[in-house]
């Protein structure tokens, strides 16, 4: 039976490490890390995510600022709000919660955030630094995957890593990070997507399979090499009348089928997902201590 790679436990370990560092900073009379979040509109999921981030800041001893704007806010006014945060020397990190209303350009908003405050790791400068293997803020999901591989001591050097999905948020950066000369890294990487021929055969050649396709239970047992490490990034609500909630959560991998043949696997929920806030807090600490942009 596969080792279950537990993101809940690992994320709590990282938060405890951050809280310990913040306590040291306070004891030394240093500057407390400060994260700002801008939330546009009243999207329920976004409000939940941002609320969880604010609570996590409190837990580790960070300061936090939440800026809430109506979904009718103009693009110019939102860019102006970002500029005010950019100019506020007390704020170390800034996130603008996605999605944004259709009349606002995500590209313009992302580009407006100062790279040194871009703790989501989405600005062109930080994506470029990642591609160059320079010190940078690695975005939340890729960071979470790297930390899970590292902390579970999963060997990546010389392995064949297959990434299913080429999104700019997960698939594409993971392909770069797993190929870099680092640990985790030094993989031979194949990136696959909807146009890949014989996708099942390619997936079955993987020593490490990272699945970020966005299709519920897409990867089945016959697509996985026995002993492979499987990282499932997807999360989907599936109607299930037998559950009190009326639904169950599944990933992009058919877990019950794949777990018996994998050597290690992330569950859904409780795998990659919980690592996202830990990544954000870690990047904010780096920003506060000027570890990336000194």
Pseudo-torsion of CA 280, 281, 285, 286, nearest 10°? Answer: -30
Looking at 15, 53, 112, 117, which residue is catalytic?
53
Distance CA 198, CA 34 (A): 48
| Given the residues 118, 120, 232, 252, the one annotated as active site | 120
Q: Which of 15, 97, 112, 252 is catalytic?
A: 97
Task: Verify whether residue 53 is a known catalytic residue.
Answer: yes
* 256 belongs to the catalytic site: no
Question: Is 120 an active-site residue?
Answer: yes
Q: Which residues are catalytic?
A: 53, 97, 120
């Amino acid at each position: 039976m596969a080792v279950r790679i537990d993101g809940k436990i690992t994320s709590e370990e990282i938060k405890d490490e951050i809280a310990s560092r913040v306590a040291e900073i306070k004891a030394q009379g240093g500057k407390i890390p400060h994260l700002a979040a801008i939330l546009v509109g009243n999207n329920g999921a976004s409000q939940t995510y941002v609320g969880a981030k604010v609570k996590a800041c409190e837990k580790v001893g960070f300061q936090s600022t939440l800026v809430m704007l109506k979904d009718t806010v103009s693009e110019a006014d939102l860019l102006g709000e970002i500029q005010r945060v950019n100019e506020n020397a007390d704020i170390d990190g800034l996130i603008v919660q996605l999605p944004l209303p259709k009349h606002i350009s995500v590209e313009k908003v992302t580009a407006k955030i100062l790279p040194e405050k871009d703790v989501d790791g989405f600005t062109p400068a930080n994506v470029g630094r990642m591609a160059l293997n320079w010190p940078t803020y690695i975005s939340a999901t890729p960071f979470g995957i790297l930390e899970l591989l590292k902390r579970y001591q999963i060997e990546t050097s010389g392995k064949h890593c297959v990434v299913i999905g080429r999104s700019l948020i997960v698939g594409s950066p993971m392909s770069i990070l797993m190929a870099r000369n680092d640990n985790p890294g030094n993989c031979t990487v194949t990136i696959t997507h909807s146009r890949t021929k014989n996708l099942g055969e390619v997936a079955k050649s993987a020593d490490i399979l990272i699945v970020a396709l966005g299709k519920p239970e897409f990867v089945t047992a016959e697509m996985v090499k026995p002993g492979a490490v499987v990282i499932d990034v997807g999360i989907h609500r599936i109607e299930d009348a037998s559950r009190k909630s009326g639904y169950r959560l599944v990933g992009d991998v058919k877990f019950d089928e794949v777990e018996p043949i994998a050597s290690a696997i992330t569950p859904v929920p409780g795998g990659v997902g919980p690592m996202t806030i830990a990544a954000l807090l870690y990047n904010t600490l780096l920003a506060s201590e000027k570890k990336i942009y000194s």
